[in-house]
Amino acid sequence: MMTKKHNKKLISPQILKQAIIGSFIKLNPRYMMKNPVMFVVEVGCFITLLLSFFPGLFGDAATDDQQIYNMIVCAVLFVTVLFANFAESVAEGRGKAQAANLKRTQKDTIAHLLGEDGKMREIHSGELKKGDLVMVSAGEIIPGDGEVIEGIASVDESAITGESAPVVRESGGDFSSVTGGTMVISDWLKIRITSDPGNSFLERMIALVEGASRKKTPNEIALNTLLVSLTIIFLIVIVTLYPIGQYSGVQLYVSTLIALAVCLIPTTIGGLLSAIGIAGMDRVTRFNVIAMSGKAVEACGDVDTMILDKTGTITYGNRLAADFIPVEGADRKELIHHAALTCFHDDTPEGKSTLELARRMGDSSNEIPGTRFIEFTAQTRMSGVDLPDGTKIRKGASDAIEKFVTELGGKLPNDLREAVERVSSLGGTPLTVCENNRVLGVIYLKDTVKEGMAERFERLHAIGIKTIMCTGDNPLTAATIAKEAGVDGFIAECKPEDKIEVIKKEQAEGKVVAMTGDGTNDAPALAQANVGLAMNSGTTAAKEAANMVDLDSDPTKILEVVEIGKQLLITRGSLTTFSIANDIAKYFAIIPAMFMQAIPELNVLNIMNLATPNTAILSALIFNALIIPCLIPLAMKGVQYRPMSSGKLLLRNMMIFGVGGIITPFIGIKLIDMLLYPLLGSLGM
């Protein structure tokens, strides 16, 4: 779930001020040409402005009434363009506000650069280059993105992630990556800088949220092309109406034809399209994910298959004690008591959970004075205690305990092998417990599936996303975890090349694939996937291969990121449906108003019973302008996402935004007409 830090106020006073200023700045025709639909509206505004001062310019009637009418049309068109610019400016303003917060994190810190001679000198962080080695001690800011090559330290990443708890960074492994702007709070690190000036993750994130690096996505380009095509078609229709009107004996004024064109072309979605795209990117960055492009966010909405690691993503990764299974000749309480004795100094998750489970099952034994703790080693593969009376109690891998008992002259219980296999078949890890040469039973260690994972996979299944779990476990254990979590498939004893193979196989079937990873061995698969989400705590290779980076390093976040992508596409589709459905009501408002004086039979189409042709046209035009700011909150927050099949989703959107898009204008235009009629009547119109 999104935390509170992601739920920001829609429009602050500062954003509102910047958006109003931006609305006027964007009136520049060179900028407006990037949005062809709204550019047509601006051109129409300019033409009606000329007609306001020179009403007979195009052969129209040069009366005072017509001049006032032209002025009103011009004013409404101007407001329409301003509202469209305002929608985009609000979206950009939220991004710039977030960028300002990130820029405050950026500091030109002093870096301790290590030279080839081993000597250290101080330089500004902005002078660092890729490959430089720096030393960072406790209390110092990490001067740039890099990889730890020596040392181990606690790092405060709250400036980037918002999380107050420090994280451990060390050389080697998958937790060696550090981000510029974070602070070392203990010990020291030797870091190799991995980015050149201006190309750090923080700087890329600032460019992203400011919109400086945003490019239109393929779906956005396709929709924009559709809107331009519809605009051209309606402009051709409007041009042909003029001779039709003359033939029918109807005087069609240029301002009326412009009003009709603006109402018929998809101005609503044309004014909101850019804002929807920017807001989608904004939701991702507020969720502490850096997307390398808008295409990556959009691809999330098209994901068909999701590849997930088991450990740390689906399960906690810690094997926790779940049960005690006594074997032949041993009592359950005796097994629990001896298992607890081996765990008083065992600080591993397995040891702590075993002692905790023993306490829950009623064991109250305490450590016996003089007991010697035997630590686990890779050679013995067991741990335990030697009691003062010489009793040896051990717990460990089944074959290691069997060897220990046999060497002491003991006999193995007949049902030991059955108990061990039963635990393995349940997807658990068996730990065998013995007292001297007598086997007492087995501890069932279980890799626990995270709470709520089954429900989340069920949500993904409901929208048709296939989930595949990758794990190094044996097939029996993998099958058990997969069944408990509710994933659709699994790859047991998985190697890095297996991930690439399954991604390529899914892509060959035309599917869009997403996966998470943090290690160098994940980099090839992250690069191959359509959506690759790398952990910020992971290696540089993984982050460079992926097209998204999670600053919180939460492997399960891929589930939410996919839902954000879905929400972006659903919002765009819903508002497009609403915009096109709006036009139906406008036809019934304007077409009868234009022709019913010459063709009285068309009055039957005036189902809204609008007062006069002028009020009908202006009511439709004003509604067309007002609907844009009314939809800004929906464009910014996104249409509420609910997991369901594509068919149900289409039906729901058609019922809400299709039917709603038809009904709303009928009500809105009629109300505006009722308000306009007395006002225009007082002006003699």
pLDDT at residue 609 greater than cutoff 50: yes
pLDDT band at 326 (very low <50, low <70, confident <90, very high): very high
Q: How many CB atoms lie within 10 A of CB 419?
A: 21
Per-residue pLDDT of 472-531, as tens digits, reads 777 877 888 888 888 998 988 787 788 888 999 999 998 889 988 776 777 888 888 888
The pLDDT value given to residue 412: 93
Architecture of domain 304-314+450-551: 3-Layer(aba) Sandwich (3.40)
Q: Does 534 score more than 80 pLDDT?
A: yes
Query: 């003991």: which residue's tokens?
Result: 410
Average pLDDT, whole number, for the chain? 82
Residue 383: pLDDT over 90: yes
CA atoms within 13 A on the CB side of 616: 24
pLDDT for the residue 653: 80
The pLDDT value given to residue 294? 67
Burial 539-567 (b: 16+ CB within 10 A, else e): bbbbbebbbbbbbbbbbbbbbbbbbbbbb
* Residue 467 three-state SS: strand
pLDDT at residue 593, rounded to an integer: 73
Tell whether pTM > 0.75: no
321: β partners = 445
Angle between helices 201-210 and 64-105 (to 10 degrees): 170
Q: 20-34, 85-99, 233-247, 450-464 — which is least confidently predicted?
A: 85-99
493: left (phi over 0), alpha (psi -120 to 50) or beta: left
Domain 304-314+450-551 identical in fold to domain 324-444:
no
Contact indicator for 234, 576 with CB cutoff of 8 Å = no
**Percent residues over pLDDT 70 in the chain:** 88
The structural domains of the chain, with segments of one domain joined by +, span: 13-97+209-285+562-683, 129-196, 304-314+450-551, 324-444
pLDDT tier at 361 (50, 70, 90 boundaries)?
Answer: very high
Those residues with Cβ within 8 angstroms of residue 606's Cβ, 6 or more apart along the chain or in another chain: 588, 592, 593, 596, 616
Cα 10 versus chain centre, distance = 18
Find out whether 105 and 159 touch, Cβ atoms under 8 Å. Answer: yes
Give the Å distances, CA to CA, from 138 to 152, 154, 181, 439, 518: 11, 9, 14, 50, 26
Binding-site residues for ATP = 346, 350, 376-383, 395
Per-residue pLDDT band for 338 (boundaries 50, 70, 90) equals very high
Residue 3 has pLDDT above 80, yes or no: no
Does residue 373 carry a pLDDT above 90?
yes
User: How far is Cα 125 from Cα 108, in angstroms, rounded to an integer?
Assistant: 6
What token pair was written down for 508?
Answer: 């060959």
Which pLDDT does position 270 carry in this prediction?
Answer: 86
Query: What are 486's two structure tokens?
Result: 């509710």
Interval 292-316 mean pLDDT: 79
Give mean pLDDT, residues 533-538: 77
In the structure, what pLDDT confidence band is assigned to residue 614 with cuts at 50, 70 and 90?
A: confident
Q: How far apart are CA 143 and CA 224, in angstroms?
A: 42
| CATH classification code of 324-444 | 3.40.1110.10
Task: Give the residue-averaged pLDDT of 289-316.
Answer: 79
| 96-123 tens-digit pLDDT | 666 666 565 555 678 888 888 778 888 8
**Which residues on adjacent β-strands are paired with residue 550?**
289, 535
Residue 321 pLDDT greater than 50, yes or no? yes
pLDDT of residue 348: 81
Known binding-site residue numbers: 346, 350, 376-383, 395, 518, 522
Q: Which two tokens stand for residue 360?
A: 């829950």
The per-residue pLDDT for 290 is: 77
Question: What is the CATH class of 129-196?
Answer: mainly beta
Tell me what the mean pLDDT of segment 87-100 comes to: 71
Q: Is 473 exposed, middle or buried (0-12, 13-18, 19+ CB in 10 A)?
A: buried
Catalytic residue ranges = 309
- DSSP letter at 361 equals T
Could you identify the residue written with the tokens 């989608």?
280
Which pLDDT band, with edges at 50, 70 and 90, does 281 fall under? Answer: confident
Which has more confidence, 79 or 125? 79
Q: Which residue has the higher pLDDT, 194 or 198?
A: 194
Query: In this predicted model, what pLDDT tens digit does every residue of 137-186 receive, in sequence order?
Result: 888 888 888 888 888 888 887 666 655 567 788 776 656 778 787 888 88
Across residues 411-433, what is the average pLDDT?
A: 88
Which range, 40-44, 607-611, 629-633, is most confident? 40-44
At residue 442, the pLDDT reads 96
What backbone phi and psi angles, to 5 degrees, belong to 23?
-60, -40
User: For residue 595, what pLDDT band results from cuts at 50, 70 and 90?
Assistant: confident
Q: Which residues pair with 548 in a beta bridge?
A: 291, 533
Calculate mean pLDDT across residues 313-317.
75
Cβ-contact 673, 665 below 8 angstroms? no
Does residue 5 or residue 247 have the better pLDDT? 247
Mean pLDDT of 359-379: 89
- Say how many C-beta atoms besides its own lie within 10 A of residue 626's C-beta: 16
pLDDT at 7: 43
